[in-house]
Amino acid sequence: MSFSLAPLQNLKPTLRKCQTSIRHAGRTASGGDTRPEILRRTLYPSNLRNKATPTGTWRRDVGRALQHAIPSVQAHETIERAWLLYQRHVRRKRDAELQRKFEKMREAMDELERLDQYLFTEANRREDPRARSPKEVQLMQPLRGSERKAMEARIRGLFPRELRVPTDTPPRTGWNYDWKPIRPASTS
């Protein structure tokens, strides 16, 4: 039973057999804490796609399923044309509704102009939100800190920020009788 080892020593093992996948490399058990392993599996999931997943991220039968659902190119094009037609109808309905609202708004503005010219002019007046009246500038001079910032940030014509949000129940603290606005409501 003489067997020579010399020919086996000259053989180099192939790289494929010596290579070990990083994902399947043996890991040393780290005591009782499995959290790092769970985090690793969660953050770096296996990219092996050998089974269908319930969430649909990979399905080997997706090609066949699509062919069963849409058997021909003509059917696919018909479905696509029907979808585009539906979208066109929805768009036309939306445009018609907007046009109707615009016409009603125009009628209301014409009626306001006919009834009260001053209110019509005030409703259509354009205003620079950065412009300050002399009264506002005078009110801002003694203010410091957050009060001044609040006054500078206020844009005329917008809803007042410091108003309480309407709710079904009163606040727990009750009514604040000492509260005063930073500036009077009308500064014109």
Task: Report, as an integer, the average pLDDT of 174-187.
Answer: 67
Share of the chain above pLDDT 70, in %: 70
Return the half-sphere exposure (C-beta side, CA atoms, 13 A cut-off) of residue 174: 3
Indicate the DSSP class of residue 154: -
In angstroms, the CA 127 to CA 156 distance is: 8
Task: Report, as an integer, the average pLDDT of 96-102.
Answer: 98
> Taking the domains of the chain in order of start, what are their residue ranges?
73-124, 130-155
pLDDT at 1 over 60: no
Q: What is the pLDDT of residues 57-74, one digit of tens each?
A: 666 777 777 777 777 888
Phi, psi of 99 (to 5 degrees): -65, -40
In this prediction, residue 48 carries a pLDDT of 62
In this prediction, residue 129 carries a pLDDT of 73
In this prediction, residue 187 carries a pLDDT of 46
Share of the chain above pLDDT 90, in %: 22
- 78 vs 183: which has the higher pLDDT: 78
In this prediction, residue 10 carries a pLDDT of 56
Q: Which residues contact 143 (CB under 8 A, 6 or more apart)?
A: 151, 182
pLDDT at 188 over 50: no
pLDDT at 15 over 70: no
Phi, psi of 149 (to 5 degrees): -60, -40
Whether the model pTM is above 0.85: no
pLDDT at 21 over 80: no
Rg (CA), the chain: 37
Task: Report, as an integer, the average pLDDT of 139-144.
Answer: 83
